[in-house]
């Protein structure tokens, strides 16, 4: 069985974090909270330990992991080159939900990077994550702590639902504040390129760097045979058991179309979920309506997306109709995840 240790405060609960750190040092895996989602961590410098992450998750070996550090200077021995722009971003956004792709040093085992010449590095800002890395004394490789292909966990209970019996320990630090995985930014590209949008937005990065690209895969399925820059983006992801369909259009048109679809499916005996927003929720007539938040606060909507998808599963919903969200600020990350959850099924209202 998997043990769960509640951390209310990093000072008074430091013995639990120390226990987790000993597991990491002993080559075991531990799930821990970050400000984005829960991670499943192992010593990033120990290939055998890292292998256990892939086994626990059922993750394909060609999908590389993010290496988590607790101090800015930890980067230096993990990379071969540090472009000045990367240093600027670290100053500005670390600790926080920004992962930088840099040229890796020989210290990083191939299992971590899936054989790539680059490594993904981030400094999380969750106090439990920072303390765990510090106590472990090594960088921690960690993907999201879900079974491969599932929705990323934003609570310790989500981790337990997916990995109970497969890992020794979960540190429970409560609900993750950002709720979507970090922004992955490729700093080895000619122009810094967002491979996965997240909490540090395109707008925030552009303000600091001037020019930033968003990889074409952000809102589109990869074409067959197209080279994959961020291997994680090629897998069916964030998939709840229910079939998700995104409906796009003006607010009133979306509502009208979703009401019509819901009626039709319910008539056929299906259980229907609706992923709504504060602005629209009162206009739905049937179906199980969950609200992401207000359209004026995309960061709040982002923080609720994954738990809403898991809630639909708990409710036994067969199909979810989800409203399109404007793709500015955190909206880009929301739609990146939502479209993957929907396997890119989109209906124009
Ligand atoms: O917020 C997060 O990033 C969370 C928490 C735990 O830190 N972690 C996370 O890890 O989301 P994971 O493994 O679920 O996603 C890592 C993403 C994948 O899409 C992977 O392909 C990409 O980062 N990635 C990792 N190393 C890469 C590299 N060297 N080049 C390009 N993409 C890379
Ligand atoms: Mg993941």
Task: List, for residues 187-226, the tens digit of each pLDDT value.
Answer: 999 999 999 999 999 999 999 999 999 999 999 987 766 6
Residue-wise pLDDT tens digits, 8-40: 999 999 999 999 999 999 999 999 999 999 999
| The dihedral sign for the CA sequence 209, 215, 216, 221 | negative
Q: For residue 160, how many other CB atoms are within 10 A of its CB? A: 19
* ipTM (interface pTM): 0.99
pTM across the whole model:
0.96
| The dihedral sign for the CA sequence 284, 290, 295, 296 | positive
311 vs 61, 240, 291, 308, 342, CA distance in Å? 29, 9, 11, 5, 16
Is 99 annotated in a binding site? The answer is no
The more confidently predicted of residues 228 and 156 is 156
Strand pairing category for 243-248 and 346-348: parallel
Pocket test for ligand 1, best of 86, 99, 123, 302 (most atoms within 8 A of CB): 99
Quick one: which of 17, 121, 142, 28 has its CA closest to 69?
Answer: 121
200 lines ligand 1 (CB under 6 A): no
Residue that the structure tokens 């920072």 belong to: 130
- The answer, yes or no, to whether residue 230 has pLDDT greater than 80, is no
| 268 CA distance to ligand 1 middle (Å) | 40
- Mean local confidence (pLDDT), 157-170: 98
CB under 5 Å of ion ligand 2: residues? 144
Q: Quote the CA–CA distance of 175 and 154 in Å, as a whole number.
A: 6
215 vs 89, 181, 229, 238, 299, CA distance in Å? 19, 16, 9, 19, 21
Q: Quote the CA–CA distance of 159 and 166 in Å, as a whole number.
A: 11
Q: Integer distance in angstroms from the first to the last C-alpha of the chain? A: 47
| 117 CA distance to ligand 2 middle (Å) | 21
39 lines ligand 1 (CB under 6 A): yes
Predicted confidence at residue 139, as pLDDT, reads: 98
Q: Which atom of ligand 1 is nearest to the CA of 122?
A: 7
- The answer, yes or no, to whether residue 168 has pLDDT greater than 90, is yes
* Rg over CA atoms, the chain: 20
Q: In what order do the strands lie in the sheet with 272-276?
A: 288-291, 272-276, 319-323, 243-248, 346-348
Predicted confidence at residue 173, as pLDDT, reads: 98
65 lines ligand 1 (CB under 6 A): yes
Q: Quote the CA–CA distance of 219 and 332 in Å, as a whole number.
A: 8
Residue that the structure tokens 């002993």 belong to: 26
| 232 CA distance to ligand 1 middle (Å) | 7
Can the peptide bond before residue 148 be classed as cis, meaning omega within 30 degrees of 0? Answer: no
- The answer, yes or no, to whether residue 236 has pLDDT greater than 60, is no
Quick one: which of 161, 125, 133, 174 has its CA closest to 6?
Answer: 174
Q: Which residue has a Cα nearest atom 33 of ligand 1? A: 230
Residue-wise pLDDT tens digits, 37-64: 999 999 999 999 999 999 999 998 899 9
Question: And the tokens for 115?
Answer: 């054989």
Is 148 annotated in a binding site? The answer is no
Could you say which ligand is closest to the alpha carbon of residue 186?
1
Is 3 annotated in a binding site? The answer is no
- Mean local confidence (pLDDT), 151-177: 97
196 lines ligand 1 (CB under 6 A): yes
Pocket test for ligand 1, best of 40, 65, 228, 229 (most atoms within 8 A of CB): 65
Q: Quote the CA–CA distance of 314 and 110 in Å, as a whole number.
A: 38
Q: What percentage of the chain has pLDDT greater than the value 90?
A: 91
Is 238 annotated in a binding site? The answer is yes
319 lines ligand 1 (CB under 6 A): no
233 lines ligand 1 (CB under 6 A): yes
Residue-wise pLDDT tens digits, 82-131: 999 999 999 999 999 999 999 999 999 999 999 999 999 999 999 999 99
Half-sphere exposure of 35 (CA within 13 A, CB side): 21
Is 196 annotated in a binding site? The answer is yes
183 lines ligand 1 (CB under 6 A): no
């Amino acid at each position: 069985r998997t043990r769960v240790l509640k951390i209310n405060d990093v000072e008074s609960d430091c013995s639990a974090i120390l226990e987790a750190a000993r597991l990491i040092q002993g080559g075991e895996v531990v799930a821990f909270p970050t400000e984005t989602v829960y991670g499943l961590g192992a010593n990033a410098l120990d290939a055998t330990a890292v292998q256990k992450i892939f086994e626990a998750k059922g993750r394909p070996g060609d999908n590389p992991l993010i290496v988590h550090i607790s101090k800015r200077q930890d980067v230096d021995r993990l990379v071969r080159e540090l472009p000045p722009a990367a240093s600027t971003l670290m100053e500005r956004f670390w600790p926080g939900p920004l992962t930088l792709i840099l040229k890796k040093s020989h210290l990083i085992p191939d299992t971590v990077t899936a054989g790539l010449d680059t490594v993904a590095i981030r400094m999380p800002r969750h106090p439990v994550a920072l303390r765990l890395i510090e106590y472990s004394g090594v960088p921690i490789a960690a993907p999201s702590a879900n079974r491969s292909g599932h929705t990323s966990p934003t609570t310790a209970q989500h981790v337990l639902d997916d990995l109970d019996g497969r890992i020794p320990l979960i540190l429970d630090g409560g609900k993750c504040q950002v709720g979507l995985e970090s922004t992955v930014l490729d700093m080895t590209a000619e122009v810094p390129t967002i491979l996965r949008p997240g909490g540090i937005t395109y707008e925030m990065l552009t303000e600091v760097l001037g020019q930033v690209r968003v990889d074409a895969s952000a809102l589109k399925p990869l074409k067959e045979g197209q080279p994959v820059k961020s291997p994680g983006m090629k897998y069916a992801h964030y998939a709840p058991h229910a079939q998700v369909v995104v409906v796009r259009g003006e607010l009133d048109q979306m509502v009208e179309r979703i009401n019509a679809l819901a009626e039709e499916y319910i008539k056929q005996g299906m259980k229907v979920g609706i992923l709504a927003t504060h602005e629209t929720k009162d206009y739905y007539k049937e179906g199980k309506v969950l609200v992401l938040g207000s359209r004026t606060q995309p960061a709040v909507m982002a923080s609720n997306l994954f738990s809403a998808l898991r809630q639909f599963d708990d409710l036994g919903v067969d199909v979810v109709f989800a409203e399109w969200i404007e793709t500015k600020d955190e909206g880009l990350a929301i739609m990146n995840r939502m479209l993957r959850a929907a396997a890119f099924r989109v209906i124009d209202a």
